[in-house]
């Protein structure tokens, strides 16, 4: 994981620095000048991405000292200092935007996940993420979902069978798709199949799918689907699930709700890095 993250950091810094480096800091800040800067939460948030922030500053300059005492998952109030960075001031300024991009984005994902998890409090339903992640950021964004109290769905195409509408169209039927999948994969790997109506529910249960993804169903249909399944498979609601609808969907009896919005629509939170003169 760390090798992957370090490659991502290196790519982000390369993108920002180009071939000329930080021309502004080179022009204004003497090479030997040292300084200290503080990371400040400018709104209430759930923290995520602290390790990648630390690794970003160290990638710029290994002599930089990064103090981030709060763990991912911490609930932070507006105005709280999240930590500090000390060392050559040029190095701090070079790493500033890249580090903040990671921290603001990942804390935004964690904050969104925390909101969804809170909406399901008191139910047995759990909120899942999806593969609708920023390209290259999946390991980080899924970690941020966990930090916020959400649960990870499969990481990629390699670690879970999820038969969707296009697979069914290619094969011809739910039953045949489930049969082929079960014959091909390890016996410990669950087979999940997407269904859009009650007829599909019945076919998937008869085919012995272990998980049914109830796609874009209204709540009464979803409730009826759960009744038809009667515990013979796990259930996951998906498609157009909003924060406002989460409790209603959970009360329909599903085991999981997946929300692509946790990653593809999470708003980056407001965090700044403030240089403290003379520190």
Question: Cβ(76)–Cβ(46) under 8 Å?
Answer: yes
Question: Per the residue annotation, which of 132, 154, 179, 247 is the catalytic one?
Answer: 132
Does residue 132 have an active-site annotation? yes
Helix axes 50-60, 89-119, angle to 10 degrees: 170
Alpha helices in 18-137 (DSSP H): 23-28, 50-60, 89-119
Alpha helices in the chain (DSSP H): 2-17, 23-28, 50-60, 89-119, 138-147, 165-171, 174-184, 198-206, 219-229, 246-251, 261-264
Instruction: Name the percent of the chain in helix, strand, coil, to the closest 5.
Output: 45, 20, 35
The helix/strand/coil state of 234 is: strand
Does residue 97 have an active-site annotation? yes
Question: Per the residue annotation, which of 129, 141, 215, 255 is the catalytic one?
Answer: 215
What residues are paired with 39 via a beta bridge? Answer: 83, 273
Phi, psi dihedrals of residue 28, rounded to the nearest 5°: -105, -30
Does residue 164 have an active-site annotation? yes
Question: Cβ(101)–Cβ(12) under 8 Å?
Answer: yes
What residues are paired with 75 via a beta bridge? Answer: 46
Residue indicated by tokens 């290196």: 10
Question: Cβ(182)–Cβ(174) under 8 Å?
Answer: no
Instruction: Output the six-digit token pair for 115.
Output: 């909101």
Question: Cβ(120)–Cβ(257) under 8 Å?
Answer: yes
Question: Per the residue annotation, which of 42, 44, 164, 232 is the catalytic one?
Answer: 164
Question: Per the residue annotation, which of 97, 180, 182, 245 is the catalytic one?
Answer: 97
Active site residues: 97, 132, 164, 194, 215
């Amino acid at each position: 994981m760390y090798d992957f993250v370090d490659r991502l950091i290196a790519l982000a810094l390369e993108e920002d620095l180009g071939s000329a480096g930080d021309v502004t800091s080179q022009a204004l800040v003497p090479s030997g000048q040292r300084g200290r800067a503080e990371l400040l939460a400018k709104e209430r948030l759930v923290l995520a991405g602290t390790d990648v922030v630390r690794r970003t500053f160290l990638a710029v300059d290994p002599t930089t000292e990064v103090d981030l005492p709060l763990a991912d998952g911490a609930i932070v109030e507006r105005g709280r200092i999240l930590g500090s960075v000390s060392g050559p001031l040029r190095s701090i300024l070079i790493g500033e935007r890249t580090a903040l991009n990671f921290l603001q984005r990942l804390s935004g994902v964690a904050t969104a996940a925390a909101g969804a998890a809170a909406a399901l409090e008191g139910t047995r339903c759990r909120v899942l993420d999806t593969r609708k992640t920023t390209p290259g950021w999946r390991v980080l964004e899924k970690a941020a979902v966990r930090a916020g109290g959400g649960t990870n769905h499969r990481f990629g195409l390699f670690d879970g069978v999820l038969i969707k509408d296009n697979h069914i169209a290619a094969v011809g039927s739910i039953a045949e798709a489930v049969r082929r999948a079960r014959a091909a994969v390890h016996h410990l790997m669950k087979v999940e199949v997407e269904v859009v109506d009650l007829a599909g529910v019945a076919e998937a249960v008869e085919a012995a799918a272990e998980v049914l993804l109830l796609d874009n169903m209204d709540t009464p249909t979803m409730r009826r689907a759960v009744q038809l399944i009667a515990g013979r498979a796990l259930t996951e609601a998906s498609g157009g699930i909003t924060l406002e609808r989460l409790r209603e969907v959970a009360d329909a009896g599903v085991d999981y709700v997946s929300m692509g919005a946790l990653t593809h629509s999470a708003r980056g939170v407001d965090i700044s890095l403030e240089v403290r003169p003379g520190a």
